[in-house]
Homo-oligomer: A and B are copies of this chain.
């Protein structure tokens, strides 16, 4: 008889109560998570210890599914545990708590999957994992790094169980609604009616105006209470703000900028409450230090000294960690591959090649043989000046004293020129120290030197790492290389697979490592794991007549998620194949890390392959669990799809008026109306055919409609993709549908580009509108802040024009966009926007390997037309590497240098030229200017210009340009000015090297 819901809660209360937690109660306000309960969000602040556990009914308005999804709903029950400080073994405690519920790590695939948690409204973030049970997320496990804007010290461990999802495998039911609550009633009987009601309220009935007024009242009250120092009453109102915001959001009443404003307001409140709480506890003198339980972190100073080994011996360093994120594992191995050989060489330790291995739970360095001692080294010790050391060729007392002190014979002293004089030096051989000793002194730094994109603290040592380090193995042959780090001392004990209970494994000799790991089913070599995965998943696909599409990113990730991969194939109902392929694949890949299977025609089959950590024990149960999870995910997608296709795509347009694009620029609906105008000049500039224009106009009309469909609200990545799908479903022409999708392209570096003219046109118009609009209202990106993704937009413009080899005048485009805005656009804003795009183009061109000066020269004249610019850069780039380039440049430069400081452009009077040289030059100029212009390529320019170089040089040799006679002088300058201007519109040669 499995546990009822209420018995499971009782077990957790008992478990954590017995493990030193204070058992707390759900909060008296609606919260989105147990984290918001002051027992977490405030108690994690400050230095006092705090261990607490409690149930928290959690409301997330937007997650409601009218009670129709098997495991997703707007109210669910969390079980929240906070351990502060880190007890050293929180994952083990957690897994024991699951055993107490009857969820065995041996019989289920229980995994710690990277999850970086952030709650902007609470000013909080942390690193940790989602814990998966057979593919189902059952817990969030986080090391809090920050809360209320405070850096936390000590760090708190937070475990948030999703009780309903936990019950599904425990009771073996297919849906949360079928969970037995008390042996009599199901969860659904108790909560489904209200779930449906709340969904109706959240999505359909909540009165937006009233909620906004409530929000303002709550906020005002919170502020007063913060000012009065009343922490908890203030916090209550902050929670009310937060819940009210969630309702507004679910109701679709919050635009992008408005959302940012709300978040800022909530973050400010949360920070102020935190500050008040911290001050209060300080004032109270932190009374809870008295109640510290459990062990404090031991001092990581190591008393032991390394015992020397006799001969060459294998070296092993294993850093045992809690599950590393896939990317962090890669980056750590990469760094070790460089750092370890460097270190050993620096230490003068002769060695075999270094092998760097790793799994999510260990980073290992293995060297077949390392010399027992450092190589000896000869050192030169500087003694007294030679004059003082030798008098008449005989050593003085000074020399004798120095030799004695250095332990060398006087006769071995040598004289060297150094430091501007001659000195006596003693040459000494410093013998190498034992390998263990020198390694012991450097391993801590080696570990500390590994850097991650984001790292975290977890215990009193204050050390940062990707995830907590829980053991350190360092062996030289049979000997421990003693060092301390992160509160740990190195030893010889490692741990086996999680599903086997992470058994302790005693490593007698470093050389035993690979065998012991293999014996314990831990596949430490990433390549080997990947190979096994490839083989297994392909076999499983083949069994159903399918293949696994090539997906190196997913494969690499999965390889880094397991220590012992066992692939399994699950099935899903064929009816879900009616959903768009992108939806299914996105759900499988991104949410579940499953490999889809396709048939010979590339069509999806109703199967997936998951890779479990561990062997095939209870594999059917694991498969079943994964299938259930995917079913729920697909059900969710189907729910959205069903809802979304209930009306044609065009009918979503009115909702765009409620979605704020930017406060001053209006709604997304306003943006769409601008696009529909802007598309005409843009189409003209792109030279579209009338039919293409018609397609473009329609596509612009529908481009943003999918933003308010539920699928896209839920899976933002599918914007455009769903738009295309829904457009087709609504009977739009395929070209329109395609343009709807394409206008978002490219979405990221390396993404495909829009292939159709309408797709290009809408995408350009959209981005131009955003750029000029946001620059106009003063929202250009600054520092790393780019909330509207303008860098991406500018890059998209550049990449599309370059990639599709399209000429386009961005200047004109921006100006056309500006004319449609309802806000004033200054010339400065326009030129800033253009410069911003050109800045992206500059980066692209430089990264493509073009010389910076060439890029700058071209962009100065042609940045507004990226495709033209890239052609010009290539062309100019070829010229500047020619042997005769400097002649050309110098000739041109002579013309430019003499005129560039002139205050005005002078009138040219060819008939007034006095000398032949001048006349000749003018004639040459006339020939050139007849053949080139601002549109010319560098090659056109230079091939025309090259012949006149001698003429130029003659001119300067013969003629004193700066004549006393003003008329003469100005007429000569006028000619040179015109020659200098020949490059206008092509490239600014003055910025080239050598000018």
Contacts and interface: CB of A to CB of B under 8 A. Distances in A.
Interface string A34-55: 0000100000000000000001
A28 B29 CA distance: 5
B190 A22 contact: yes
Interface stretch (A83-91, A212-220, A442-450, A731-739): A212-220
Interface in A1-18: 6-7, 9-10, 13-14, 17
Contact of A23 (B25, B59, B182): B182
A225 B205 contact: yes
A617 interface: no
A190 B37 CA distance: 14
A429 interface: no
Contacts of A233: 194, 197-198, 200-201, 205
A232 B28 contact: no
A224 interface: yes
Nearest to A53: B6
The quantity of this chain's copies bound in the complex is 2
A17 B7 contact: yes
Contact of A284 (B7, B29, B193, B201): B193
A17 B8 CA distance: 12
B217 A213 contact: yes
Contacts of A224: 205, 207
A37 B291 CA distance: 35
A230 B26 CA distance: 24
B10 A14 contact: yes
Contacts of A513: none
Nearest to A193: B280
A29 to B, nearest CB: 7
Given A22-B184, A59-B28, A181-B22, A210 B221 contact: yes
Nearest to A235: B194
A189 interface: yes
Interface string A374-398: 0000000000000000000000000
Given A182-B23, A184-B293, A232-B194, A217 B210 contact: yes
Nearest to A181: B22
A287 interface: yes
A284 B192 CA distance: 12
A225 B194 CA distance: 13
A59 B194 CA distance: 24
Interface string A221-243: 10011001011110010000000
B27 A28 contact: yes
A436 to B, nearest CB: 45
Nearest to A231: B197
Given A22-B185, A26-B28, A207-B224, A232 B288 contact: no
Contacts of A213: 213, 217
A223 to B, nearest CB: 11
Nearest to A50: B185
Contacts of A200: 228, 230, 233
A287 B193 CA distance: 12
Contacts of A666: none
- The residue in A9, A185, A201 that gathers the most chain B C-beta atoms within 10 A of its C-beta is A201
Contact of A185 (B27, B206, B288): B288
A811 interface: no
A312 interface: no
A103 interface: no
Contact of A230 (B29, B57, B205): B205
Contacts of A198: 230, 232-233
A740 B21 CA distance: 57
A349 to B, nearest CB: 51
A701 interface: no
A30 interface: yes
A452 interface: no
A956 interface: no
Contacts of A77: 25
Contacts of A236: 30
Nearest to A38: B194
Contacts of A214: 214, 217
A21 B7 CA distance: 12
Contact of A205 (B59, B185, B207, B228): B228
Contacts of A182: 17, 21-23
Contacts of A201: 225, 230, 233
A247 to B, nearest CB: 10
A923 B189 CA distance: 98
A873 to B, nearest CB: 62
Interface string A892-917: 00000000000000000000000000
Contacts of A190: 22
Given A22-B6, A23-B182, A25-B26, A287 B197 contact: no
* Most B Cβ at <10 Å: residue of A23, A28, A221: A28
Interface string A633-660: 0000000000000000000000000000
A890 to B, nearest CB: 79
B29 A6 contact: no
A26 B221 CA distance: 25
Contacts of A27: 28
Contacts of A228: 200, 205
A266 to B, nearest CB: 18
Interface string A177-190: 00001101100011
Nearest to A214: B217
A23 B658 CA distance: 43
A25 B190 CA distance: 12
Given A28-B29, A214-B214, A194 B6 contact: no
A538 to B, nearest CB: 49
Interface in A284-299: 284, 287-288, 291, 293
Contacts of A230: 197-198, 200-201, 205
A832 to B, nearest CB: 44
Contacts of A217: 210, 213-214, 217
Contact of A10 (B23, B184, B206): B23
A184 B231 contact: no
Interface string A157-197: 00000000000000000000000011011000110011001
B23 A9 contact: yes
B25 A197 contact: no
A496 to B, nearest CB: 35
A497 to B, nearest CB: 35
28 contacts: A6-B22, A6-B23, A7-B17, A9-B23, A10-B14, A10-B17, A10-B23, A21-B182, A22-B181, A22-B182, A22-B190, A23-B182, A28-B29, A29-B29, A184-B291, A193-B231, A193-B232, A193-B284, A194-B232, A197-B230, A198-B232, A200-B233, A201-B230, A205-B225, A205-B230, A210-B220, A210-B221, A217-B217
4 closest A-B pairs by beta carbon, nearest first, are A194-B232, A6-B23, A201-B233, A22-B182
Given A6-B23, A28-B57, A28-B59, 16 more contacts: A6-B17, A22-B190, A25-B26, A28-B28, A28-B29, A29-B30, A30-B236, A184-B293, A185-B291, A197-B232, A197-B233, A200-B230, A205-B228, A206-B221, A213-B217, A217-B217
